[in-house]
């Protein structure tokens, strides 16, 4: 039996939502105001047919659109799409009773993504194929082009499929190639290779992977953070520093988004005497901040801190940086550790940084810049700062993950 529904809004996961007497129905790839038809199963509309399209609907640009689980909002015109991301931040703040002006979402262009996580499986003909998971499924959608990715990543897809082949040696392996475009070429870290029953990658498979890496001219190939072969040390540029990337190390996905967030952070701390950069990684914010004032940098990743220290040796005309590897969830920086810091920048993972924020609230810092990839945990932590006497000066969403429901933001608090 088919149902005809009217879409009221787009929810936080990017699906259209229709209100019915039996509750909310989620309809993928639909837009507000559209009349749609399909079969309702367990609260979701399947086999969706658009009867009346929204005037904001545009033609998608990806050949995998509708099947691939990524880029699920590319059928939405830019202005309402960016406004929707802005609204997701406003709604998250409202749930914590925070009334703040949210700035317009900073757009990021297509073709600018420097990182991809490509799943590898055997195709029907036995060859290795690369792709992304289908919507609400473990099935793999083979990808031969990707409009969000840097064209140099797209051009490397056939060679990367050959690199993936040896990692499919064990039938239980489900490899993922984490591919990063660096100043020195592609850096690939492979995870998901069966170790327990398969004993890891055989010596023969390792040699085949190394040969494929050479044929693909990879800068480095690593397996779960352990280097298999390195033709060139991969580097990235953070402000005035050239920083070596640790195998499997974290980087912002799109350089234009990184630039937008760094610029706002640096502008917010102008005039500071001493700055703390928490969850600093390999120094994305650290080095630009160190052009303003001395920086204390801390992160739970020891390889990230080692890379930051190596990058410091390449930088000119910056202040001192004191870096330490420290688990900021188990051992957050206390007011004593942050003494003298009048500005604090933090960029935690999706879980947020509640314990660290509670410590920041007790410091004498006058400026806090909070960068977040999760508006919900950000709003929770923002409430702690507001209750401690800070005011939320600016909140700026950044569309780092184009055409997805994922929202990033950078915010500035003043005491």
Of the candidates 68, 146, 341, 373, the residue annotated as catalytic is 373
Closest CA to 238 of 216, 259, 266: 259
Starting from the edge strand earliest in sequence, which strands make up the sheet with 23-27, in order?
3-6, 35-41, 44-52, 23-27, 16-20, 9-10
Active-site annotation holds for 280:
no
CB 246 within 8 A of CB 304: yes
Tell the burial category of 283 from Cβ atoms under 10 Å away from its Cβ (0-12, 13-18, 19+). buried
CB–CB of 314/323 below 8 Å? Answer: no
Q: Which residues fall within 8 angstroms of residue 193, CB to CB, at 6 or more apart?
A: 167, 170, 173, 175, 200, 201, 223, 224
Q: What is the CA radius of gyration of the chain?
A: 23
Torsion angles phi and psi, residue 115, rounded to 5:
-130, 135
Structure tokens belonging to residue 250? 């974290």
Per-residue tokens: 106: 């900073």
The answer to whether residues 211 and 179 touch, using CB atoms and an 8 Å cutoff, is no
Q: Which residues are catalytic?
A: 373
């Amino acid at each position: 039996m088919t149902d005809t529904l009217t879409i009221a809004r787009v929810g936080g996961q990017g699906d259209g939502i229709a209100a019915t007497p039996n509750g909310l129905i989620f309809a993928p790839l639909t837009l507000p105001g559209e009349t749609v038809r399909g079969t309702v199963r367990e609260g979701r509309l399947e086999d969706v047919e658009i009867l009346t399209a929204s005037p904001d609907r545009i033609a998608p640009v990806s050949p995998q659109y509708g099947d691939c689980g990524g880029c699920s909002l590319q059928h939405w015109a830019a202005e309402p799409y960016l406004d929707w991301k802005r609204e997701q931040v406003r709604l998250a703040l409202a749930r914590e009773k925070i009334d703040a002006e949210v700035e317009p979402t900073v757009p990021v262009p297509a073709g600018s993504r420097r990182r991809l996580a490509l799943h590898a499986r055997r195709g029907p003909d036995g060859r290795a194929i690369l792709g992304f998971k289908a919507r609400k499924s473990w099935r793999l959608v083979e990808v031969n082009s990707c409009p969000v990715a840097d064209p140099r990543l797209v051009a490397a897809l056939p060679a990367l499929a050959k690199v993936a082949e040896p990692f499919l040696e064990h039938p239980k392996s489900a490899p993922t190639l984490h591919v990063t475009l660096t100043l020195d070429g592609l850096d690939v870290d492979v995870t998901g290779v069966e170790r327990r029953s398969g004993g890891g990658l055989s010596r023969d498979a390792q040699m085949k992977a190394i040969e494929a890496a050479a044929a693909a001219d990879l800068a480095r190939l690593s397996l779960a953070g352990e280097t298999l072969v390195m033709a060139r040390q991969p580097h990235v540029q953070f402000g005035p520093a050239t920083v070596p990337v640790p195998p499997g190390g974290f980087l912002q996905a799109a350089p234009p988004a990184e630039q937008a967030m760094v610029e706002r952070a640096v502008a917010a701390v102008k005039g500071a005497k001493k700055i703390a950069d928490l969850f600093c990684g390999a120094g994305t914010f650290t080095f630009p901040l160190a052009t303003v004032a001395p920086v204390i940098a801390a992160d739970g990743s020891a390889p990230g801190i080692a890379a930051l220290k190596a990058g410091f040796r390449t930088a000119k005309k910056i202040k001192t940086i004191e870096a330490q590897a420290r688990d900021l969830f188990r051992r957050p920086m206390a007011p004593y550790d942050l003494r003298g810091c009048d500005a604090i920048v933090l960029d935690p993972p999706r879980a947020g940084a509640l314990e660290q924020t509670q410590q920041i609230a007790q410091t004498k810092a006058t400026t806090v810049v909070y960068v977040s990839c999760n508006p919900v945990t950000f709003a929770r932590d923002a409430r702690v700062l507001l209750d401690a006497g800070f005011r939320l000066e600016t909140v700026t969403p950044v569309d780092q993950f184009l055409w997805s429901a994922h929202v990033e933001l950078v915010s500035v608090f003043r005491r």
